[in-house]
Structure 1
């Protein structure tokens, strides 16, 4: 049974049983405490917690999920994957334990010809929470399971909570027995790979508080509305139904594994280490494909860092399988073909996905080449010094700063006959993980608890009137002061105000929040921010300027009209720039993010190379031509499928409901899904002046522009600068570029001439310096401060000349100079000096320490530097002392 068929059977079964079928949410979640949708319940959290009334009493879905907490387990176990799909059925105050058990058992054990999954009841085991007698008795009454195949387990396995105050409850898990070939008898309590958990039924019935850990808390009482949250792992069911040993061999994953086998020339099933690498490649390529399809782009932080890590682990695994060249073109195509039936977007959007994948692979292959060069130098230096182990801090630097995997460091070091101080490396990694976990815990504590808004949201959605009105009368529904409900707020206090209606725009879709005031009888509030803390609810952060505001009082929201108009201009200009980019570069230049505020817009888009000056000019001209043409701006609210059929552009990673707002500028020329505010006609945008274009990732570019009066002021300032230059240089405006280029060339030539004279002057010091060599023990030493130099190369040249003049003596030359504002020391040694034990690299480090910097190099010539020019005498004294002691 194919994976997609299992999913469809699941949805068909629950639809027949009165459930609303809900499409999968994006892997990118709105929850600020999470980077990704890590479980099937994440999109339903507002409904399960009661923060937002559920739009349906019962639902079912197939939810895309991504977890990297157990990333090191991928490939080693039959069921650990980073991307997975969770089949879920949900009840929001509708059916409870009996219904959940009936539905689960019915689907699992019904014959395939009747639409079920056809599991033999004799292969199934169940666990329940040890104190949940109700669930235990229901399993006995509703199914033909014998008592001995219903096991009671503790809180650590059969009790669900988020680890935060709120809903919680016992759970019941269903396991499949793979048979004695996979482990010992004894049921799920043996915690053995023989028993695979396929379905978890969570009975969300309690409210908890005083949470001391995930399994240590106080139960306040029962929830007013008990919920059902279930999750069945699609990949786990698939590998059982398909008769394979693990999820990596199922129909949606195996094609990538097979392609990796083909590209590597190695066999699957022959060597355990290779099998793990093949499975890592198959899992990580699929996960990367799905993240890219949901609009995540590789980067150095947040979600983008996780994606980059997955892609680089896949590249690393292919390299350990003996493939050093690029493979993503073939691997991603194989994953696309395997996943397209379930997720058509991976095929329709594949050009963009592949562009990111190939760019990231090329970047990392260059990183590997650079890292190998650094590692090779470290290996050589370690061997020359008689060492046997690479410093753990250096291995960590390669891993953390250059992205060079520790596995490759270990492998290359082993080939060179050296080891790596793995203990020191692991200690540094542990410190880094500890910091990251502390940051994540802090973020979770600060941002995750939205229960304070639950009662406000229960009163209904906040009505936004700002599309048509800049003032709206309303009522204060609630107040929060320092995060806690309050009845009033007085002058000087900062509070959150919840209103029934508002004309103030809450930050979203790239458009910043409105500025303005809220006024009422005897009070005035300055609006500091407007946000949507939970779906459907608007919160106004305000400072009480005067008076006292209280719950239940009348309130009028007043939008700053000048700021709103400028923000509208910027937002509409963003749409113009997007359309101009697509006109110029083609449909693959799609939106990857934006920011719009009064007078300024920033637009990120998918593109792999810098735009030429001519292209930037063309884009700017197309946008301003649209302004000139006074195009009509219209908005329509319509079903999302109809909007997409009309060609509306959607922002990748953005979540849209069944009904959307579509903004047209000039009809289909610019047609986007957008909830922001806009001008009435394109001429109202005013001037659009592109002021910047830059890279924001391997395949992302950013265009920045000033809009309206801000654009005019910027151009006026540039005009004033041009006027000053024409006057100062006595050159017509059109000849300024050539005149400035001429002056720059003359300056460069003069600098070059000065540098040559300085180099000649420095070189002339050679004979005198050699004649002044002092005797320190076995060495003739020249340690001198030569003043200033144009470059370190001039100092190096002089040091080598002086060394040559010392002939066959055991000579050491240490010359210091100031290059710009920084001190430089060059150390050179003769062959006889090296034979006597003087190493230039070691001496350069000694000098550099005195200068407050670092240094090193070969035994015959090396360089050091620092930040303190006043320490040059001390650096030279340190070299003398080192040689004298020797």
Structure 2
């Protein structure tokens, strides 16, 4: 190997340092969770994806030259993971970006200098490719860099032109490295562009210079951009002269740990290698996703994570591991990646807990489903079928929680296929997973309305002001930009500055009014912040009219704001209390802050005990009574971290953050509005606690006036109850105990009286019974009696008179209850209560049955009740012959 060897971590730092030396701003990797305003992606899958708004100039980039190493997830080829050398779900994308600054004549030399001078790759092994008619790029490669013409390849749109529907697009120039003939396919004419593993792409320069109108028409962009992407693992493959991304140093170290646990070793067999690769790849992806705040679930990106963990766990089973083991690999993944991503070490305990919990849950699923799967599979094979039915696949999923992906994989291992269309149809018909609808807001929540980048972002001054003047920058009504809007219209006003808080971070928006000097009034009922930083005040023009350019006065509803601040400050106290009582694994997973009411979702893996809940409630109220000063300050993010401030899990922050500190009880990153002292939050009360998803629980609570109103209502009920029982609130509990005991005694006495009365009636029945061939036959109706009372009377008759045959009936509304009893002598003579009650019930349109000596039944035809009872004599006579 002629070029030097570098580890993957070294290569990452070399790249970022090189482009820093070329005037680029180094930014840390963005979260794997796309920005809130990007509804087009489930997970970040490229270096430029988090920067879309900088390329379109909807937002101003922090500098016109930026370099990053971006964490990425792609799952489109998940079935190929482990089977090929180049497929992985998690990878890192190195990138240098120019937003209207430099272009081809700078980007291409940067690329060449880094690959040849910094990394030291052999120049004669590098082959540039360009778009068919990109002569400009050819001239730079050929004349400036000095690449021979026969080393430069021209390819068509499919290979060397980047576009994705309408929008910015342009030609590409890639660089391929020749790994040597031993990696080739051996076919004549094998060269750059061949599908074999000899020539591997290590760099891709995308020249964004056109705009596609969606109809195939291209226009030149005024500000041209550079979007460079280079897979870090691919570069490491070349530099380290290894066969695949799984053989790169940091990745292979993870595989070695997996081998240590599973006792399966790389190179033993193709099947073993595939399983080791799948586990290695999926655990890397899972650790990174969980670190960025993703939790396993049945929806969206949470489902991607769950699928990865379950595939990895199953491949562990294929290697003979029958216990949870993936969590044991977390430390190795963290160790290999913490140089670039130090938050992995900070969150290692939490990541490990999430993975172990998911493994344990899946183990139960697998154990329950495998027996049924094997039975279903055997049935298909016995019938000579090669297709596993969609109905059976759905049964495994719907009844046993068996993932369809694993069913497909296991069936394929048996040489069969799954009727996926049938499965999908059943899923559609019986879908029970609730899908959370998310509307794509865009700039205004409507397609086609956009603000240009020339319009400045709204300045939020609501931390210090509840009322302020502002200039109307834009008006939208009926989905169109307007110059003015009049009374009665629902509209959106955009101001240059505002005291209104836009809905963010779980805190609801301020309400209030915007007024003009003319007396015009606009009631604000919602405020949203768009991706360009404009605050959109939604509401209705109550009187007068508003025009773009005029100065207005924006006033928030102060009473409502104070109630929201009480709830938000209490939310921070609750978060801190949860960590103190339950442990540091607790992280915020979502929140809703409304006037004097809060909802807080957090990560925890078991039900909270009543004692823990009581302690959490007590800690929050103690912190409120302590009267901690609430201090806010803006700090560089690293300084804030060193100070101990807690970040919202999975959230992406800038270089400067706002820190909210409440004594020594709580310190968090937060952009919301808060009280200046915790004592102003008022009484805190937890209303409910429950599970909302696997590993996520929810607490709902009230503060301030809502809590006081609840206390007042409860107090009114207390006083009213005391008044009714002629006692005082303090004596109410003992008075209720006394009343309850008295009621029990009265009920017991009443039941005893009823029983005695019933037995008295039963004695009278026996006296009036008919004699049918030596047996005493009687019937009676006792309306309003329940089944127990009937049974008690019947038991007395049966036990008192061995030769009795009795049918008792009770009508309650439209329902008739029958009881038949036969004494022991009557049973000996062939009269059975079960047969008798069936006969009687049938006449009233009902059914019945039971033992020979006692049976019950029912009917619904009240008009036939007399007929039914009259049939008893005939029934007995017929049975006696």
TM-score in terms of structure 2 length:
0.79
Residue in 1 that maps onto 2:776: none
Within the alignment, does 1:218 sit opposite 2:217 as a pair? yes
The CA distance in 1 between the partners of 2:412 and 2:637, in whole Å, is 57
Paired position in structure 2 for 1:422:
419
- My pick for the range that moved more, 715-724 or 760-769, is 760-769
**Residues paired across the two proteins, number:** 773
Matched, 1:616 2:620: no
- Is 1:548 the counterpart of 2:581? The answer is no
Q: What is residue 128 of structure 1 aligned with on the other side?
A: 130
The runs of 5 or more residues in structure 1 that have no matched partner are 111-115, 775-782, 790-794, 803-814, 819-886
* 1:14 maps to which of 19, 26, 30: 19
Q: CA deviation at 1:326?
A: 0.9
Residue 405 and residue 626 in structure 1: after superposition, are their counterparts in 2 closer, same or farther (change >3 A)?
closer
Residue 497 of structure 1 deviates from its aligned partner by 2.2
Relative to structure 1, the CA distance from residue 45 to residue 387 in structure 2 (aligned partners, 3 Å threshold; closer, same or farther) is: closer
> Relative to 1, partners in 2 of residues 1:348 and 1:411: Cα closer, same or farther, differing over 3 Å?
closer
Question: Distance in 2 between the 1:785 and 1:191 partners?
Answer: 83
**Equivalent runs, 1:435-474 vs 2, <5 Å:** 452-455=449-452, 457-474=453-470
CA distance in 2, matches of 1:376, 1:645: 55
Counterpart of 1:539 (choices 531, 536, 539) is 536
| Counterparts of 1:729 and 1:570, CA distance in 2 | 38
Displacement of 1:763 in angstroms is 12
The aligned residue for residue 624 of structure 2 is: 627
> Which of the residues 31, 34, 43 maps onto 1:26?
31
Contact 1:579 1:670 in 2 (8 A): yes
The aligned counterpart of 1:79 is 86
Query: Following TM superposition, by how much is the alpha carbon of 1:428 offset from its aligned partner in structure 2, in angstroms?
Result: 4.3
Q: Distance in 1 between matches of 2:257 and 2:706?
A: 54
What is the RMSD computed on CA atoms of the aligned residues?
4.3
Structure 2 vs 1, CA of residues 372 and 503 (structure 1 numbering), >3 Å: closer, same or farther?
A: same
Instruction: Note if contact 2:168-2:210 (Cα within 8 Å) is conserved in structure 1.
Output: yes
Instruction: After TM superposition, give the deviation of residue 503 of structure 1 in Å.
Output: 0.8
Q: CA deviation at 1:292?
A: 1.0
Aligned to 2:250, the other structure's residue is in SS state coil
Report if the CA contact (8 A) 1:277-1:321 is conserved.
yes
Match of 1:65 in 2: 72
- 1:168-207 → structure 2 map (5 Å cutoff): 168-180=169-181, 181-183=183-185, 184=187, 185-207=189-211
Aligned pairs for 1:35-114 within 5 A: 35-110=42-117
Cα distance in 2 for residues equivalent to 1:348 and 1:314: 24
Shift of 1:728: 7.6
Matched position secondary structure for 2:136? helix
**Which residue of the partner structure matches residue 664 of structure 1?**
661
| Counterparts of 1:266 and 1:440, CA distance in 2 | 44
Aligned pair partner of 1:154 in 153, 156, 164: 156
Q: Equivalences for 1:249-260 in 2 at 5 Å? A: 249-260=247-258
Which sections of structure 2, spanning at least 5 residues, go unmatched?
1-5, 752-785, 796-817, 823-830, 860-881
Deviates more, 1:276-285 or 1:2-11: 276-285
Q: Distance in 1 between matches of 2:487 and 2:81?
A: 57
Q: Does 1:705 align with 2:704?
A: no
Residue 140 of structure 2 is matched in structure 1 by: 138
Q: Is the 8 A contact 1:450 1:533 kept in 2?
A: no
- SS of the residue corresponding to residue 701 of structure 1 reads strand
When residues 228 and 384 of structure 1 are mapped into structure 2, their CA distance, relative to the original with a 3 A threshold, is: closer
Residues 52 and 454 of structure 1 are in contact (CA less than 8 Å); yes or no, is this contact kept in structure 2? no
Q: 1:736 and 1:245 mapped to 2: Cα distance?
A: 84
Q: 90-99 or 170-179: which moved more?
A: 170-179
> Counterpart of 1:846?
none
Q: Deviations over 1:451-493 (max 9, x none)?
A: 95451x4333311111111111111112234544332334444
Q: 1:744 to 1:369 in 2, by over 3 A?
A: farther
CA separation of 1:439 and 1:706: change in aligned 2, threshold 3 A: closer
User: C-alpha deviations, 1:256-312, integer Å up to 9, x for none?
Assistant: 323333333334333323322221111111101001111112222222222112111
- Aligned residue among 643, 647, 652 for 1:646: 643
Paired residue for 1:279, among 274, 277, 296?
Answer: 277
Q: Which residue of 2 aligns with 1:869?
A: none
3-state SS of 2:249 partner: coil
Partners of 1:655 and 1:264 lie apart in 2 by 36
Q: Does 2:293 correspond to 1:288?
A: no
In 1, Cα distance between equivalents of 2:184 and 2:630: 65
1:193-216 alpha-carbon deviations (Å, 9 max, x no partner): 33222211111112222x26xxxx
Higher gyration radius (CA): 2
Q: Structure 1's 138 and 450: CA in aligned 2 closer, same or farther, altered over 3 A?
A: farther
Distance change in 2, residues 1:601/1:118 (3 Å): same
Whether the aligned pair in 1 keeps the contact of 2:254 and 2:329 (CA below 8 Å) is yes
Q: Secondary structure at the match of 2:173?
A: strand
Q: Cα distance, 1:817 vs. partner?
A: 11
Find 1:519's aligned residue among 501, 515, 519.
515
For residues 222 and 649 of structure 1, do their structure 2 counterparts lie closer, same or farther at Cα, with a shift above 3 Å needed? same
SS at match of 1:534: coil
How many angstroms apart in 2 are the aligned matches of 1:445 and 1:665? Answer: 36
Distance 1:656 1:451, change over 3 A: farther
* Distance change (3 Å), C-alpha of 1:172 and 1:522: farther
Distance in 2 (CA, whole Å) between partners of 1:535 and 1:243 is 45
Equivalence for 2:343: 345
Q: CA deviation at 1:362?
A: 0.9
Assess if the C-alpha contact under 8 Å between 2:467 and 2:554 holds in 1.
yes
Cα separation, partners in 2 of 1:343 and 1:387, compared to 1, 3 Å: closer
8 Å CA contact 2:393–2:423 kept in 1: the answer is no
Distance (whole Å) between structure 1 residues aligned to residue 857 and residue 72 of structure 2: 60
Deviation by residue 1:415-465 (Cα, 9 ceiling, x = unmatched): 9x9977535556649979x999x999995999999995451x433331111
Structure 1 Cα separation of the partners of residues 419 and 466 of structure 2: 63
Distance 1:159 1:740 in 2: 86
**For structure 1, which segment, 547-556 or 222-231, has the greater mean C-alpha deviation from structure 2 after superposition?**
547-556
**DSSP 3-state at the match of 2:693:** coil
Contact residue 198 and residue 233 of structure 1 kept, 8 A: yes
Name the CA distance, whole Å, in 1 between partners of 2:122 and 2:819. Answer: 90
- Residues 444-843 of structure 1: pairs in structure 2 closer than 5 A: 452-455=449-452, 457-520=453-516, 521=518, 523-666=520-663, 668-721=664-717, 733-734=732-733
**3-state SS of the aligned residue for 2:579?**
helix
* 1:639-659 deviation digits (Å, cap 9, x = unpaired): 111111111111011121111
User: Could you tell me how far apart the structure 1 residues matched to 2:123 and 2:708 are?
Assistant: 75
Alignment of 1:855-866 (within 5 A): none
Measure the CA separation in 1 of the matches of 2:277 and 2:550.
62
Q: Partner residue of 1:859?
A: none
1:232-279 per-position Cα deviation (integer Å, ceiling 9, x unaligned): 100111122222211122222223323333333334333323322221
Q: Which TM-score applies when normalising by structure 1?
A: 0.78
